[in-house]
């Protein structure tokens, strides 16, 4: 049996506010399509995603960690995930493997928010409380009890009906100086409802109003007193033990609310003069309200403290009063604020060199204005100010940030964007007053279904095409760390950022590829010099740098253009000289914010997301016309002379395969007319003597190469091979046979029999077969085929006799996809076999296959 391990996983984060969480143990969990991906941002080797957890049947919307422990000993005990499949799942680690210990069922809508306990001290002995809010307009409160190492018992404590509004964010904590749980819930009515645990249920305590749009995030923190960098003269209204609630809203503002024990104070005697002054203030307020009613402008009322009576959990006869009041309004973002996150409490030495557990009063916010901000109270005045702003200025960065997280030690910040990418920043300040933050290498991946993957002709890097309208280049980063040679995979380029969903691609030669999308045109791209030089530097493949002088330096998209325009060194010199005299000379680069000189940079580390968007495009050198409908498949001969293409078709007229000659980029007049419906895949044999096509009409067709340039391939055979659509086909490495894969759950092997090819084996599979690929050589003395199924499963079939095939290995579920496997591609590198796969679950995976 072969030994199969995961080498690399690339997948983007889901576009939701609560899609990611950073645990105390340093692990980041985030929703990625239907999966939960686990990633350690502070791993010094930058390994990336460690594993993905399958289980949900729809998009994962929210995740968070369940914590326990006292002050400095707080640790993660489990992970909770909520999904559009109307369930939440609890995961915990057993024998170094995450297992699904419980499933929370009962919601009639997608689970949009999760609330777990956050406090300075969380009991190890008590059951965990978990709150889930869903699109069915209810909040369910659950109690988790540990049953054994792999299972949990979860009981439903309560269902809170939100009426005609929906919960958007939840937060759980304890009231100050007590162990009474408090639940904050934000709704689509712009209000925050506070529930307090009384009589074994959560009861409504108060409703906080003030935001003018939906509240998207809530976060609790306990104030622990003055920190070492603050003076005793700090003009705080906070007292030690006060519970702080931060709320982020689509009204562009962040509000801070304070919950504290209330001590009644004697009512002061008001003099006649003071009473008269108060009456004047009241008259002014009434006048302001009347004016606001006429103008439509909002008026912020006073920060009145609202009192709530709370009964003791152990003795219901004892009551305690708490005050809830508005503390501060944080203004600075220019667009919706999606998330807020407090810096984690930590152990710190004070000015007397004594250790104490403190909660830093630092709040991180993320907004769709493409920025993250860190807020803290000014040491002198107590006024909350923005001390750090990070993010992107200009550029094509989609819709800004969906969420941001502090690292456990507070020295790093991680955000996830609307295009599925992560942005990691590190505090490099020499002291706390500098606030210097620098970007670091993080992860990225597609955020929609991946349709195609292929290795370059020399198997040095991988290219993928996706419905997220991008083509991405993945390659290994080889370097030395502490005397050890380390290799990790990263996205090294984004050759194509398109306006249409990409469907297929194929390499013409080492540095040129052709792609097809949901348009009638095929586009040809050529690698720029900067890309070749950067790949050579990062992969250590110095031979890549040969024949780069004639290449353009880079590519840019003009402000009103759609095609990647080549930029040559002469253009850069002219533009740089003109820029000194005329600023408008740079305007043609404003769409991607790439300046001419920045295109010449050679990378010494994998690019950040901003660099990928702006500096790694490949120039578009040709467009190929002819098809009347959207492109479905494209394939180039191994000698790079011809390109075969097919498009969507409902008639035989459009189901033809068109051939293009790469020396002239003209279509060859003679078309291959063999099918009646859409051609789903075209494959040339390795010696380019045969062209195999498969179709929705359940036929395969075979064309043979001729010496006639007017008709380079001539149809010689076709066969109605399957009972359902044929999705894929593949040639063996020695071209003695080919295989077809169909929705009828079979793989068929065909070998040459006289003038045609006949079926010598039929292999039945458990699900519809959507992709197939022969290994590039014998493995352990036998033919091997990689098979991708409709449910995401990957299988390896093998045979020493071409008519007797069997299952060689079933790839473990955790290394497989959870959606349709769209494409497979093998490579041999330094004698080792690697299999790349692309799936409808947004992921690109590379597996090591060792006999």
Closest CA to 600 of 533, 546, 511: 533
Per-residue tokens: 638:
């191994």
Per-residue tokens: 70:
């006292």
Q: Bridge partners of 782?
A: 779
pLDDT at 395: 52
Q: Is the dihedral of CA 134, 135, 139, 140 positive or negative?
A: negative
User: Residue 93: how many CA atoms within 13 Å on its side-chain side?
Assistant: 11
pLDDT at 590: 39
Angle (CA) 438-347-322 rounded to 5° is: 105
For tokens 């904050």, the residue is: 184
Q: What is the arrangement of strands in the sheet containing 631-636, beginning at the earlier edge strand?
A: 631-636, 642-647, 658-661, 666-667
CB atoms < 10 A from the CB of 105, how many? 13
Domains of the chain: 3-265+303-440 (2.130.10.10), 444-625 (no CATH)
CB 809 within 8 A of CB 795: yes
Per-residue tokens: 527:
């690698």
DSSP assignment of 426-457 equals EE--SSTTT--EEEE------SS-EEEEEE-T
Per-10-residue mean pLDDT for the chain, 851 residues long? 95 97 96 97 94 97 95 89 98 94 97 96 90 97 95 96 94 93 95 93 93 96 74 62 95 95 66 54 51 44 72 76 92 95 86 80 94 91 90 66 95 94 91 80 97 97 97 97 93 93 96 96 94 92 74 68 68 57 46 50 89 90 96 98 98 97 96 97 97 98 94 95 97 96 98 88 97 97 97 97 94 96 96 96 97 89
Q: Bridge partners of 643?
A: 636, 660
Angle (CA) 93-95-97 rounded to 5° is: 50
CB 181 within 8 A of CB 205: no
- The backbone torsions φ and ψ at residue 779, rounded to the nearest 5 degrees and listed phi first, read -115, 120
pTM over 0.85? The answer is yes
pLDDT at 268: 58
Q: Residue 260 and residue 153: Cα distance in Å, rounded?
A: 34
Q: Bridge partners of 526?
A: 512
CB 752 within 8 A of CB 771: no
- For the chain, the distance separating the N- and C-terminal CA atoms, rounded to the nearest angstrom, is 7
Q: For residue 539, what is the enclosing H or E element?
A: helix 529-539
CB 11 within 8 A of CB 20: no
Per-residue tokens: 452:
């195609």
Q: Residue 190 and residue 650: Cα distance in Å, rounded?
A: 50
User: Residue 460: how many CA atoms within 13 Å on its side-chain side?
Assistant: 18
Q: For residue 573, what is the enclosing H or E element?
A: helix 569-579
Q: Is the dihedral of CA 70, 75, 78, 82 positive or negative?
A: positive
DSSP summary character for residue 73: G
Per-residue tokens: 555:
């590519």
pLDDT at 263: 77
Q: Residue 592 and residue 397: Cα distance in Å, rounded?
A: 9
């Amino acid at each position: 049996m072969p030994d199969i391990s995961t080498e690399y996983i690339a997948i983007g984060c889901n576009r939701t506010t609560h899609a990611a969480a950073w645990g105390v143990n340093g692990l980041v969990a985030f929703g990625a399509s239907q999966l939960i991906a686990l990633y350690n941002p502070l791993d010094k080797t930058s390994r990336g995603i460690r594993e993905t957890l399958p289980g949900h049947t729809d998009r994962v919307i929210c995740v968070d960690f369940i914590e326990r422990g006292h002050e400095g000993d707080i640790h993660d005990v489990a992970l909770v995930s909520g999904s559009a499949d109307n369930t939440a799942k609890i995961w915990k680690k057993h024998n170094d493997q995450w297992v699904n210990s419980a499933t929370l069922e009962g919601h009639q809508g997608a689970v949009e928010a999760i609330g777990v306990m956050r406090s300075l001290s969380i009991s190890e002995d008590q059951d965990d409380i978990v709150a889930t809010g869903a699109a069915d307009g209810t909040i369910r409160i659950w109690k988790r009890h540990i049953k054994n190492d792999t299972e949990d018992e979860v009981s439903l404590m309560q269902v809170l009906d939100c009426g005609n509004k929906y919960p958007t964010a939840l937060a759980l904590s304890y009231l100050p100086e007590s162990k009474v749980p408090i639940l904050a819930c934000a709704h689509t009515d712009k209000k925050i409802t506070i529930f307090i645990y009384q009589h074994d249920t959560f009861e409504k305590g108060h409703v906080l109003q003030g935001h003018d749009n939906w509240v998207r995030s809530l976060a609790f923190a306990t104030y622990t007193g003055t920190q070492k960098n603050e003076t005793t003269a700090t003009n705080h209204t906070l007292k030690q033990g006060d519970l702080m609630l931060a709320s982020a809203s689509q009204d562009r503002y962040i509000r801070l609310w304070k919950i504290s024990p209330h001590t009644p104070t004697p009512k002061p005697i008001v003099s006649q003069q003071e009473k008269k002054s108060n009456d004047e203030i009241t008259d002014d307020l009434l006048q302001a309200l009347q004016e606001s009613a006429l103008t439509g402008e909002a008026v912020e009322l006073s920060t009145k403290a609202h009192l709530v009576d709370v009964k003791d959990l152990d003795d219901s006869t004892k009551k305690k009063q708490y005050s809830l009041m508005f503390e501060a309004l944080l203004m600075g973002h220019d667009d919706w604020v999606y998330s807020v996150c407090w810096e984690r409490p930590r152990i710190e030495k004070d000015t007397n060199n004594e250790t104490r557990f403190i909660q830093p009063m630092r709040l991180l916010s993320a907004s769709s204005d493409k920025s993250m901000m860190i807020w803290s109270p000014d040491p002198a005045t107590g006024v909350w100010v923005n001390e750090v702003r990070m993010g992107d200025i200009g550029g094509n960065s989609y819709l800004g940030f969906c969420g941001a997280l502090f690292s456990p030690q507070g020295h790093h910040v991680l955000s996830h964007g609307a295009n599925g990418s992560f942005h990691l920043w590190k505090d490099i300040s020499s002291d706390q007053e500098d606030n210097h933050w620098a970007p670091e290498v993080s992860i990225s991946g597609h955020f929609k279904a991946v349709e195609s993957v292929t290795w370059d002709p020399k198997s040095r890097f991988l290219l993928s095409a996706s419905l997220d309208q991008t083509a991405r280049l993945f390659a290994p980063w080889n370097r030395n760390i502490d005397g050890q040679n380390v290799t990790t995979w990263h996205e090294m380029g984004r050759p194509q950022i398109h306006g249409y969903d990409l469907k297929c691609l194929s390499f013409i030669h080492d540095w040129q590829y052709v792609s097809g999308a949901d348009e009638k045109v095929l586009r040809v791209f050529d690698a720029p010099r900067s890309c070749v030089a950067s790949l050579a530097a990062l992969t250590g493949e110095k031979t890549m740098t040969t024949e780069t002088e004639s290449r353009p330096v880079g590519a840019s998209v003009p402000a009103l253009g759609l095609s990647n325009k080549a930029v040559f060194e002469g253009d850069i010199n002219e533009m740089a000289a003109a820029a000194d005299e005329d600023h408008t000379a740079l305007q043609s680069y404003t769409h991607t914010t790439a300046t001419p000189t920045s295109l010449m940079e050679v990378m010494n580390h994998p690019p950040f997301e901003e660099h990928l968007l702006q500096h790694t495009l490949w120039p578009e050198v040709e467009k190929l016309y002819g098809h009347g409908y959207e492109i479905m498949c494209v394939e180039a001969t191994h000698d790079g002379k011809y390109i075969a293409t097919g498009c969507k078709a409902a008639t035989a007229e459009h189901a033809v395969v068109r051939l293009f000659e790469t020396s002239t980029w003209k279509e060859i007049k003679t078309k291959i007319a063999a099918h009646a419906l859409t051609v789903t895949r075209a494959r040339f044999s390795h010696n380019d003597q045969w062209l195999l096509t498969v179709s929705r009409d359940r036929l395969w067709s075979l064309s043979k190469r001729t010496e006639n340039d007017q008709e380079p391939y001539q149809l010689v055979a076709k066969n109605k091979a399957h009972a359902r659509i044929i999705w894929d086909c593949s040639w063996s490495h020695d071209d003695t046979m080919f295989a077809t894969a169909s929705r009828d759950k079979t793989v068929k092997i065909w070998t040459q029999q006289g003038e045609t090819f006949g079926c010598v084996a039929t292999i039945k599979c458990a699900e519809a077969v959507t992709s197939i690929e022969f290994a590039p050589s014998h493995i352990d003395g036998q033919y091997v085929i990689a098979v991708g199924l409709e449910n995401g499963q990957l299988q390896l079939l093998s045979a020493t006799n071409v008519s007797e095939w069997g299952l060689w290995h079933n790839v473990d579920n955790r290394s497989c996809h959870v959606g349709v496997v769209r494409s497979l591609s093998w490579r041999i590198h330094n004698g080792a076999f690697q299999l790349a796969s692309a799936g409808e679950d947004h992921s690109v995976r590379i597996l090591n296959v060792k006999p």
